[in-house]
Structure 1
Amino acid sequence: MRLLALLLLLVLAVPAQADQPPNILLIMADDVGVECLGSYGGTSYPTPQLDRLAETGTRFTHCYSMAVCHPTRITLMTGRYPFRFGARWGDFPNDVADSTIGPLMQRAGYATAVAGKWQIAQLRDNPRHPAQLGFDEWSLFGWHEGPRYWQPLIWQNGRIRDDVADRYGPDVYADFLIDFMTQHRNGPFFAYFPMALCHDVTDDLDAPVPFVPGKDRYESYAEMMAQMDRVVGRLVDALDRLGLREETLIIFTTDNGTASRSIAGVRDGKLYREPVVSRRGDEEIPGGKGTLKDTGTNVPLIVNRPGHVPAGAVRGDLVDFSDFLPTLADVAGFKLPANVPYDGHSFAACLQEAGEGTRTWAFAEHRGKAFVRDRRFKLYDNGRFYDVQADPKEKNPISPENDSPAASRARARLQEALKSTGWHENRKN
């Protein structure tokens, strides 16, 4: 009887892990289009770690970001399109902070942390901005305040770190998140990693940031791709060591397409850039960041959780960046505030073999311009209309009189979709 009582006490003392929602590791690389990853047909850069995540997880082919980083971050964190807030470069709509990812995850019982590139506020002006957006811990460079790679300027939990002068920034951010996941191994945790890689170095400081140690230049785009893949692998390996792979949903995406040029070094006292051209199959693809074409907005999305997310699956469901917050809500098991008009649609059902996405069009905006699109057709706010399946470089807009029956139906649907956003009436930028 004593042994039976002891066993009963032990059972009652063990957390009910089966009922606990999964840990979530959300990784967002910087300036990496779909053409760069091997799993998406890229051949310029070896990406074995990410390719392995795709092979053992689910890969999406129709995920669309904003054309540059800052609006993408606003959309991901708020679940709403940037024009809703009239956000200017460097702003974050702090008046809606309570309905963004961090506080909602906290209220759902998650420990929260963020590391890497913040780029939604100057941390020197507000060192506790991440806490105000629901992160218990953070290790970040803020917004063009200092180096992000060598001799990095890193704000950690409200203070500048003074012990990283000889460290490589991306490894500092990874170490921080690995420590966080280790400390919270009993879960659930939400670790958000908006990576510095593969963005080039800061270009608007009084003096150029430090070179790669022992060299007179910065890392090339190819070198940054290798570093990005390696650092992602470090995080996955850490989850394996902790025995948390099956308890952790890993989401990998990027904030926009590949940059067209990357800072290479200093010449005659001035920074100089080199073009970035990547190969996908037989095609050479110049970076399209800052444009609303596919090369600027079609980004990778890989989701992995062994035993829970189908392995080797390729999904054509539409996803845009407003969808991440409602998806995390479904995964974590909490309800979004009913009084907030979120733009996103959860794609959590797409992580099941027979599940289907509910989004019928995706939206992106950039500098007062916007598009809505489905998998084949794309409509801009000025009326330009393309069959991007047949014309991915958007060289031949289709006029209404030349519409096929399929194009005519798509044009009408997308016109109604754009109208439903209120873009023309409500944009403030």
Structure 2
Amino acid sequence: MKSSHFIYLLIILVFGGFLISAKLSAQERPPNIILIMVDDLGVETIGTYGGTSYSTPFIDAMAAQGAKFEYAFAQPLCTPSRVQLMTGQYNVRNYKVFGQLDRNQITFANLLKDAGYKTAIAGKWQLGKEKDSPQHFGFEESCLWQHMLGATDKNGNDTRYSNPVLEINGVPKHFDGGQFSTDITSDFLIDFMERNQNQPFFAYYPMIITHCPFVPTPDSKDWDPTSPGSPTYKGDAQYFGDMVAYMDKTVGKIIAKVDEMGLSEETIIIFTGDNGTDQPVVSMYRGNEYPGGKKFTTENGIHVPLVVKWDNKIAPGTQSDDLIDFSDFLPTIIEVAGVQAPKSLPLDGVSFLPQLLGKKGKPKDWIYSWYSRNGDMENLQEFAFNNEYKLYSTGEYFNIQEDWLEGTPLNYKDLDKEGKRSFKSLNKALEKFEDIR
């Protein structure tokens, strides 16, 4: 064989092997993960769940194209929910105080980063004021409000929406050119995804919106690009609908970018809210008025949407009535990534990936909650519930299907067989955590 022919054949074999290897690597590459969590957004705000007060076409389309969970529950307030979501543990194990995450904890970002994922977070932090807090908990890049700085400027104006003050990788920046924080944070994550589209990435978006102050968005008729921020904490609730619409539009923007990059089959997108809608917002939900219940342990304080999209993996229109709580997100996310949690990590959550893929999975019989805003025992509210009943550690017992605002406690002696069976089951759930609390 002539040497030139030999070299040509060698080049073909090497290049062909490279293509095969590249193809196999692409097939074996772990999926990208995008987790979007809206601030103060209850289930009643979303059209696909039966809410009729607001426009949410992009989230409704996500549910139609993917999966929707009917019974997903957070904690009643932001920091407790964030701690549970990121660590996969009930607050009884690791919640210390409002506004902080114990630096001894391991988060889903730590686990994914250690497994080779590129990681980023944008939005609301409120988990520790140390400059390196996001990086310490696994996020290589960050664009955050209320990281090291407070919530207002020297004049008492809120800094989270119009012309916001954000911290980019721990460096404060005052945006004063008529920007809106939802645009800045979403653009930050989109830039991160574009730069890392050739490798697995995890983008966590705990959105600043729709938390009060309720203010105009850039799509509102009376949007003022020169506004220094709301001078009051609550703002004006008439703008809540505008904020929901802008949130939904931003979710659509992120989905569109994933599609544009050709990654819709390689990317799972998870959408939820961190707790119930704030007061004084009242929405129409399945034909009835539904008041916001943030900070309360009743349904309107903890029932949140959970919608998941993953093209060619999740069958369109998948629905589940299984109980899901925020401890389940970490196990689900790491199973998607093919990552094993350390055996020393005491996870309370159960992965709901099987249900996303049309399998039975391991549905929960009950959800447990240990809720204390400041981590103190004096204000503790501890309870367990299933689809029909809720039992508090105080002994108060409610039929939450018939009495979802929990106005009339049940008397055990008056219960039917199913009521007594549920009482015993929920009491065992509470007893399971007695040695921890």
With structure 1 as the length reference, what TM-score do the two structures score?
0.89
**Equivalent-residue separation in structure 2 for 1:230 and 1:86 (angstroms):** 33
Corresponding residue for residue 206 of structure 1: none
Corresponding residue for residue 3 of structure 2: none
Corresponding residue for residue 7 of structure 1: 16
Q: 1:210-249 residue pairs with structure 2 within 5 A?
A: 212-213=224-225, 220-249=239-268
Corresponding residue for residue 5 of structure 2: none
Corresponding residue for residue 324 of structure 2: 319
Which SS does the other structure have where 1:94 is aligned? coil
Shift of the 9–187 alpha-carbon distance from structure 1 to 2, 3 Å rule, reads: closer
Correspondence for 1:56 among 65, 68, 71: 65
Shift of the 27–45 alpha-carbon distance from structure 1 to 2, 3 Å rule, reads: same
**Equivalent-residue separation in structure 1 for 2:391 and 2:74 (angstroms):** 16
Corresponding residue for residue 199 of structure 2: 187
**Equivalent-residue separation in structure 2 for 1:238 and 1:386 (angstroms):** 45
**Equivalent-residue separation in structure 2 for 1:386 and 1:8 (angstroms):** 65
CA deviation profile, 1:221-260 (whole Å, cap 9, x unmatched)? 1111011101111100110111111110000011000001
Corresponding residue for residue 132 of structure 1: 136
**Equivalent-residue separation in structure 1 for 2:74 and 2:175 (angstroms):** 35
The answer as to whether partners of 1:121 and 1:142 remain within 8 angstroms in 2 is no
Matched, 1:421 2:433: yes
Corresponding residue for residue 155 of structure 2: none
Identical residues among aligned pairs (%): 37
Corresponding residue for residue 305 of structure 1: 310
Q: 1:261-276 residue pairs with structure 2 within 5 A?
A: 275-276=280-281
**Equivalent-residue separation in structure 2 for 1:184 and 1:86 (angstroms):** 33
Correspondence for 1:356 among 361, 364, 389: 361
Gaps of 5+ in 1: 204-210, 261-274
**Equivalent-residue separation in structure 2 for 1:374 and 1:23 (angstroms):** 32
Corresponding residue for residue 33 of structure 1: 42
Shift of the 181–385 alpha-carbon distance from structure 1 to 2, 3 Å rule, reads: same
Corresponding residue for residue 142 of structure 1: 146
The offset of 1:178, in angstroms, is 0.3
The answer as to whether partners of 1:257 and 1:298 remain within 8 angstroms in 2 is yes
CA deviation profile, 1:87-116 (whole Å, cap 9, x unmatched)? 1112211112xx221110111111100000
For 1:313, give the aligned amino acid. Answer: T
The answer as to whether partners of 1:259 and 1:288 remain within 8 angstroms in 2 is yes
For 1:228, give the aligned amino acid. Answer: M
**Equivalent-residue separation in structure 2 for 1:403 and 1:83 (angstroms):** 30
Corresponding residue for residue 174 of structure 1: 186
Q: 1:375-390 residue pairs with structure 2 within 5 A?
A: 375-390=387-402
Which SS does the other structure have where 2:165 is aligned? coil
Correspondence for 2:420 among 404, 408, 420: 408
The offset of 1:13, in angstroms, is 4.3
The offset of 1:38, in angstroms, is 0.1
Corresponding residue for residue 251 of structure 1: 270
Corresponding residue for residue 110 of structure 1: 117
For 1:57, give the aligned amino acid. Answer: G
Which SS does the other structure have where 1:95 is aligned? coil
With structure 2 as the length reference, what TM-score do the two structures score?
0.87
Which SS does the other structure have where 2:306 is aligned? strand
Which SS does the other structure have where 1:237 is aligned? helix
Quick check: 353-362 or 109-118, which moved more? 353-362
Corresponding residue for residue 271 of structure 1: none
Corresponding residue for residue 265 of structure 1: none
The answer as to whether partners of 2:164 and 2:174 remain within 8 angstroms in 1 is no
Query: Root-mean-square deviation (CA), in Å?
Result: 2.0
The offset of 1:343, in angstroms, is 1.3
Which structure is larger by alpha-carbon Rg, 1 or 2? 2
**Equivalent-residue separation in structure 1 for 2:344 and 2:22 (angstroms):** 39
For 2:207, give the aligned amino acid. Answer: M
Quick check: 158-167 or 173-182, which moved more? 158-167
CA deviation profile, 1:317-338 (whole Å, cap 9, x unmatched)? 1111111111111111111110
**Equivalent-residue separation in structure 2 for 1:41 and 1:53 (angstroms):** 15
For 1:80, give the aligned amino acid. Answer: Q
Correspondence for 1:66 among 59, 69, 75: 75
CA deviation profile, 1:140-170 (whole Å, cap 9, x unmatched)? 0125444111111111112123555431101
Q: How many residues align?
A: 399
Which SS does the other structure have where 1:134 is aligned? coil
